[in-house]
Amino acid sequence: MQTFYSDIHRQHHGRTELYAGTLVPCFEMPARADMVLDRVRATGLGEVCPPSAHGLDPVLAVHDAGYVAFLQSAWQRWQALGRDYDALPKMWQIRRLRQALPEHVEGQLCYYSMDCGTPITAGTWAAISAGADVALSAADALIGGQKGAFALTRPPGHHAARDYCGGYCFFNNAAIAAQHLRANGAKRVALLDVDYHHGNGTQDIFYQRDDVLFLSIHGHPRTEYPFFLGFADECGEGAGLGYNVNYPLPAGSTVDTWFDALAQACGRIAHFAPDALVVSLGVDAYQGDPISRFALSSDDFLRMGERLGRLGLPAVFCLEGGYAVEPIGINAVNVLSAFESSV
């Protein structure tokens, strides 16, 4: 299958995040994508293609215009105040505070963020715009008749909601791809999130819709990030009732438990009978991941890809998390190559 990739991801490079009481280098780093690209090339998965420019309209189809405009100008506004360091929020619009958008760039940063681990840097806008184009170009490959396409996106996207960033995510690449498939002939799209962390942003975007079925297998938010969403009783609302399916699994769950959830999710997807599948492909369910607590081995990622291939659906895979940098390429490409050989 083709891989869509842009070097511009490198321009998003946060310096540090707060971890275990100290500032450590950001887990979400450019080397992650390098490792995946190296593995794509080493295994001969397929051609590596640059994305084509799609402009902002497909981004605005899933994100709030004010939020997008904020991201576009945030770094310049921050820098104009003499700040040459990563833009990070330090407070949130918690209960009973004023519900208005602040005027100041720092206030707006707080308003549009869900956590303090998602830095805006000089190159963030360029990187996330290129990332959206990567996801859209992978969706175009499916629209053109391909059975599978890989969007090698960085930073990830699944925590980004209609109008907020967080969890290292700004634009929801997988949601943008799913919406693009909808706009180009797919009547129903299933979006399966296998990242260790609940895809709160994707859930937010499609929660009231019955044309995009969202399913997520993740560490239980009772103990795991993002804590405030991802419980099993979140089933969608309005027209979307029944089209949001969460499989929260206790941190430390076994591989068998994980694959039981995948089997259930695949059953729901088959019943939905979508025209296409989008996979939020985080590989942080890996046993060696530094910030996650599932136990999948590299071989288990082959099994994941094989199971997804058996759905018999054309699929766009968007890279999400995975912070064991050395094996991230093996794990991600294992899913893709096993998918391809079982379709």
| Contact footprint for ligand OKP (CB under 6 A) | 17-18, 115-117, 156, 159, 167-168, 195, 197, 225, 282, 284, 320-321
Q: H or E element: which one contains 151? A: strand 148-151
* From 10-18, 108-116, 191-199, 233-241, span contacting Zn ion (CB under 5 A): 191-199
Q: How far is the CB of 320 from ligand OKP (least distance, A)?
A: 6
Q: Which helix (H) or strand (E) holds 266?
A: helix 255-272
Q: Which is nearer to ligand OKP, 86 or 115 (CB)?
A: 115
Contact of residue 89 among Zn ion, ligand OKP, none (CB under 5-8 Å per partner type): none
| Cα four-point dihedral sign 15, 173, 72, 67 | negative
DSSP-derived pairing of the beta strands 315-319 and 276-281: parallel
Q: Pick between residue 137 and residue 253 the one whose CB is nearest to Zn ion.
A: 253
CB of 192 to Zn ion, least distance (A): 14
The radius of gyration of the chain's CA atoms, rounded to the nearest angstrom, is 18
Q: Which residue is nearest to ligand OKP (CB)?
A: 321
Distance CA 297, CA 285 (A): 9
Residues 6+ apart with CB under 8 A from 286: 292, 294, 296, 297, 298, 301, 322, 324, 327, 331
Residue that the structure tokens 């294992």 belong to? 334
Q: Please provide the size of the chain in residues.
A: 343
- The interface partner of residue 115, options being ligand OKP, Zn ion, none and the CB cut-off 5 to 8 Å by kind, is ligand OKP
Q: Which of 134, 49, 46, 33 is nearest to 337 (CA)?
A: 46
- Minimal distance, residue 133 CB to ligand OKP, in Å: 21
Distance from chain centroid for Cα 39: 20
Give least dist CB 156 to ligand OKP, A. 5
Q: Does 14 participate in binding Zn ion (rule CB under 5 A)? A: no
Residue 131 interacts with, from ligand OKP, Zn ion, none (CB under 5-8 Å by kind) = none
201: contact with Zn ion by CB under 5 A: no
Element (H, E) at 214: strand 212-219
Contact 223, 195 (CB under 8 A): no
- Nearer to Zn ion by C-beta: 155 or 305? 155
Around Cβ 34, how many Cβ atoms within 10 Å? 17
Decide if 159 is catalytic.
Answer: yes
Single out the catalytic residue among 12, 159, 198, 220: 159
167 is in the binding site of which of Zn ion, ligand OKP, none (Cβ under 5 to 8 A by kind)? ligand OKP
- 109 to 74, 77, 87, 229, 285: CA distances (angstroms): 8, 11, 8, 21, 30
* Selected range binding Zn ion among 8-16, 98-106, 250-258, 277-285, rule: CB under 5 A: 277-285
| Contact window for Zn ion (CB under 5 A) among 190-198, 244-252, 310-318, 332-340 | 190-198
Among 193, 195, 224, 340, binds Zn ion (CB under 5 A): 195
Residue among 195 and 306 whose Cβ is closer to Zn ion: 195
Smallest separation, CB 302 to Zn ion (Å): 20
Report in angstroms how near the CB of residue 160 gets to ligand OKP at its nearest.
Answer: 10
* C-alpha 252, offset from chain centre: 22
Q: Is 197 in the site for Zn ion (CB under 5 A)?
A: yes
Catalytic residues: 159
Residues that bind Zn ion (CB under 5 A): 195-197, 282, 284, 321
